[in-house]
Amino acid sequence: MTRKEEREALEAFNQCVELWKIIRHFFPGLIPLLKSVKDHRHQSYVEYKNHVVLFTRILGTVFHIESMRKTTKSLNKAVCIKNISKILGLEEELTELPHWKTINDYLEALEPEGLEEIIPQLVNRLTRIRTFENSRIRNKYWQIIVDGTQLYTFDERHCKHCLKREHKDKESGQVVRTEYYHVVLEAKLVINGNIVISIATEFVENESPEVKKQDCELNAFYRLAKKLKQHFPRLPICLGMDSLYAAEPVFNLCREYNWQYIIRFKDGSIPSVAKEFHALKDMEPTQAWSKTVGAITQTYRYVTKISYQAHELNIVEYAQSDKEHSFVFITSLPVSKRNCEQLVLDGRRRWKIENEGFNAQKNQGLGLEHMFSHNYTAMKNHYFLIQIGHMIVQFLEAGLRYLLAQPNIPAYQLFDNVYEAFRTLLLTDADFESVRQQTQYRLR
C-alpha cells in the first residue's frame, strides 16, 4: 500500500464520527455514569460538571496524549470544544475545556471508588450483548486474565502506601539501595480474540510505612476476586493466571465461586503434583501425540485427575521443536484429545494481558507509567480513566481496521488521524442521526 493510498483510505470518512459510534454502540452508559459520579466540590464554585472534566481526561488517553499539560494545549481548539459539547449533550455549549490543573485538583479529591464502579458496569453491557458470544471458552466461560504490573519507581518514599525493595551487596550483605514502588493487580476480560479490557483492579499497597509484612500480589488477588464476584455473581468465568496462583487456596476459592481456571504450571509450584505428572505422562500413549505445522513439530501430552488435597487436577503439556522450554498448564476444565489443543491456545492467551494490555498502555502513548499527578488518590483516578480510555481505543482500532480493510496501517497513524479529525471536523446533527440509526458495528 502506497503512502497516497494510505492517506486516501484514512481521509475517506470522518473518523470523529467513528469514535462517537464506538462510544454510543458499545459504551452507551459511559456519559450517564460519568455524570453520576459523586461530586465532592462546592457547587457554587463549579465551572465544569463532572462528566466534562472526566470525559476530557478520557479523551487524552484515546488520543494518546501522554501528559496533562499537553492535553490542555492539544484540545484547545474551537472545533474540538464544540465536538465535546455535542457528544456530552450539553444544553449550553462549552467556551473552554478544563485546564490540566483543574482536572488534577478534581481527581485529587475524588474518591477512586466512584470511577472504579464505572468499569464493571461498562463491561456488564459487553457480556450481555450477543456480539461477543464466540469469545467464550467452550462456548460458556468468559476468559479473565489476572496479572500484576509495576507502575512507578522512586528512590525515596513517595507515600505511606509504597512497597519497598532493598538491594544488598552480594559480598557484605549490606543494603546499598532502597527502592520504593507501586504495583497494581489487574483482571482483564478477553473478547473478540485480541481485545483485553479491565474488569477489576486491586492496588498492591501497604497500609503504612511501619507494616511488618508488606502487601503482595497473592493477597491482592483474594481482594480482587471478592470484587469480581460481587460485580459479576453469575458470570461463568475461567481465570487465566501464571504459576504464582497454582496453590490450594486459589483452587479452593475458584471452587467456592464456581469458577474454572487455566494456570501456567511449574514444577516448583506444587512438587508432589509435578512428580506425579512426569511419572504418568508417558504411560498413556493415547494421551500424547505430535503433529507438524510447517517446519515446526508440536507435541501434546495430558494427564487427568491428579489428586491434590481435596482437588482433582488436569495437566496439559505443550512443546514446540523450535523452543527450548515446554508450556505446562494446570486446569479444572475437563481435558481430552478433542479439546487439548484448544486448551493450550486458551492458556497461552494469558500473554495478552502483557502485550495488548500493560505493554500497550505503557509504550504506545497511553502513559500508564507517566506520573500525571504525585498525589496518590489522583494517581488511582488517572489509572481508572486510562483503563476506560483504553477500552474505547481497542474497539475504535478494531472498527477502523475493519472499515479500512488495511491491517498494516500503524496504530499511531490511525489515532493521529482520529485526533486530527476531532480537532478539525465538526460533528453535525446529521452525523448524530446516522449514528442513532446504525444498529450494528463490525470489528476486525
Question: pLDDT per residue over 266-275, tens digit each?
Answer: 988 999 999 9
Same domain, 77 and 124: no
Cβ proximity of 387 and 366 under 8 Å: no
Nearest to 373 by CA among 63, 141, 68, 85: 68
Answer positive or negative: Cα dihedral of 106, 108, 112, 115: positive
Residues 174 and 200 in one domain: yes
pLDDT above 80 for 444: no
Q: Which residues contact 65 (CB under 8 A, 6 or more apart)?
A: 71, 74, 365, 367
Q: Same structural domain for residues 346 and 264?
A: yes
Does 105 share its domain with 122?
no
Same domain, 143 and 274: yes
Give the pLDDT score at 88: 95
% pLDDT > 90, the chain: 69
What counts of helices (H) and strands (E) characterise the chain?
18, 10
Q: How far apart are CA 19 and CA 90, in angstroms?
A: 18
- Region 205-228: mean pLDDT is 94
> Backbone phi, then psi, for 185, in 5-degree steps?
-105, 130
* Exposure of 156 in the CB half-sphere (CA atoms within 13 A): 1
Domain membership flag for residue 135: yes
Instruction: Give the residues across from 308 on adjacent strands.
Output: 311
CATH label of the domain that carries residue 262: 3.90.350.10
Find the domain containing 93 and state its range: 3-36+39-110+373-437
Query: How far is the C-alpha of 40 from the C-alpha of 374, rounded, in Å?
Result: 20
Point out the domain boundary residue: 324, 357, 390.
357
pLDDT given for residue 309 in this prediction: 93
Mean pLDDT of 184-199: 93
Distance (Å, whole) CA 441 – CA 21: 8
Tell me, yes or no, whether 144 and 221 share the same domain: yes
> Is the model's pLDDT at 57 over the cut of 90?
yes
Residue type, 91: E
Query: If DSSP codes are grouped into helix, strand and coil, which group holds residue 271?
Result: helix
Q: Say yes or no to pLDDT of 6 above 70.
A: no
Q: pLDDT at position 46, please?
A: 84
Residue 357 corresponds to which amino acid?
A: G
What is the biggest distance separating any 2 CA atoms in the chain, rounded to whole angstroms? 77
pLDDT attached to residue 169: 82
**Cα separation, 21 vs 396, whole angstroms:** 9
Q: What is the pLDDT of residue 175?
A: 85
pLDDT value of position 365:
80
Element (H, E) at 204: strand 195-204
Q: How many domains does the chain have?
A: 2
| Residue matched to cell numbers 470544544 | 81
Q: Residue 71 — very low, low, confident or very high, per pLDDT cuts 50/70/90?
A: very high
Q: What is the DSSP string of 345-369?
A: HHHHGGGHIIIIIIIHHHHSSS-TT
Answer whether residue 10 shows pLDDT above 70.
no
Q: Record the pTM.
A: 0.93
Shared domain check, 332 and 254: yes
Residue 81 belongs to some domain of the structure: yes
Which amino acid type is present at position 46?
V
What span, in angstroms and rounded, lies between the C-alpha atoms of 124 and 342? 26
Residues 163 and 258 in one domain: yes
Reply yes or no on whether the pLDDT at 410 is more than 90: no
pLDDT at 11: 62
Contacts 24+ apart (CB under 8 A), 289-294: 289/337
Residue 137: inside a domain? yes
CB under 8 Å to 161, separation ≥6 — which residues? Answer: 182, 203, 205, 206, 207, 376
Average pLDDT for 20-44: 91
pLDDT per position as a tens digit, 86-95? 999 998 899 9
Q: Which are the contacts of 226, defined by CB distance < 8 A and separation ≥ 6? A: none
The answer to whether position 365 is within a domain reads: no
Could you tell me if residue 363 is inside a domain?
no
Q: For residues 100 and 123, state if they share a domain.
A: no
Q: Do 127 and 194 reside in the same domain of the chain?
A: yes
Residue 263 in contact with residue 143, Cβ under 8 Å?
A: no
Give the confidence band of 9 by pLDDT, cuts at 50, 70, 90: low
Select from 357, 388, 410 the last residue of a domain: 357
Q: Are residues 180 and 229 in the same domain?
A: yes
Task: Specify if 50 maps to a domain.
Answer: yes
Q: Which three cell numbers stand for residue 199?
A: 474488569
Of 122-126, 290-294, 407-411, which range is least confident?
407-411
Interior angle at CA 368, CA 365 and CA 371, nearest 5: 105
Would you say residue 367 lies in a domain? no
Alpha carbons 188 and 142: distance in angstroms, whole number: 10
The pLDDT of residue 139 is: 94
Give the number of other Cβ atoms within 10 Å of residue 145's Cβ. Answer: 25
pLDDT above 80 (res 237): yes
In a domain, 284, yes or no: yes
Instruction: Check pLDDT > 80 for residue 5.
Output: no
| Span 270-299, average pLDDT | 92
pLDDT in the model for residue 271: 94
Average of per-residue pLDDT across 145-150: 94
Whether the pLDDT of residue 12 is over 70: the answer is no
Q: Which amino acid is at 421?
A: A
| Residue 437 pLDDT greater than 90, yes or no | no
pLDDT beyond 90 at 435: no
Cβ atoms 240, 346 nearer than 8 A: yes
Reduced to 3 states (helix: H, G, I; strand: E, B; else coil), residue 199 is strand
Q: How far apart are CA 123 and CA 384, in angstroms?
A: 13
Q: Where does the pLDDT of residue 111 fall: very low under 50, low under 70, confident under 90, or very high at 90 and above?
A: very high
Neighbours of 106 (CB within 10 A): 21
Task: Retrieve residue 232's grid coordinates.
Answer: 459479576
* Residues 138, 95 share a domain: no
Residue 408 pLDDT greater than 90, yes or no: no
Pick the residue with more confidence: 129 or 201?
Answer: 201
The yes-or-no verdict on residue 383 having pLDDT over 80 is: yes
Instruction: Output the average pLDDT for the chain.
Output: 91
Question: 129: which 3 cell numbers?
Answer: 450483548
Q: What is the pLDDT of residue 307?
A: 95
Residue where a domain stops, chosen among 305, 330, 357: 357
357 is written with which cell numbers?
Answer: 494490555
